[in-house]
Structure 1
Amino acid sequence: MPYYHVAKAPQPGGDHEVHQQGCMYMPAPADCLPLGRHPTCHGALARARERYARAVGCYWCCLECHPGPEPDHALTTPGVPGHRD
């Protein structure tokens, strides 16, 4: 089962992203709260929302729990799948 974390600091839109451990977009461990092991991102998201009502899944590691289109950093980060030159 994957281990999940939620970012303490919100994204510019106010959402706190939930990440699987090892995600390249996960903040440093000191900047995250551990959510524990969950079979899917849905359990981790429910746990994160106990603390942050506006928690969402990361587009890259929790796509099933991500609410919208790809994030802006996908357009500007070389070497990331989906990067647009």
Structure 2
Amino acid sequence: MDIAEAFGRVLRRARLQAKYTQEGLAFAADLQRNYISLMERGHHQPTISTLVSLSNALECSPLDLLSDTLTELQVGKGDGSPQP
């Protein structure tokens, strides 16, 4: 699993936990709905400004999204160390 895929899984979980549709999150973060979809599927990675916009909309810290992504990478790799 690569970092884009790991972030996508984290973003989808956070979105569902916040009870947002992709369209709702896109509106709250001032992004396009298809961009949310592309990130969730691991086809795109967010810029720092997009990460901050997403975290503001999800009412969490950007660090939480990054930390959860690193954890997802560790779980995906299976040996406890993050992938480069």
TM-score of the pair, normalised by structure 1 = 0.31
Higher relative CO (Cα under 8 Å, sequence separation at least 6) belongs to 2
More helix by share: 2
TM-score of the pair, normalised by structure 2 = 0.31
More strand by share: 1
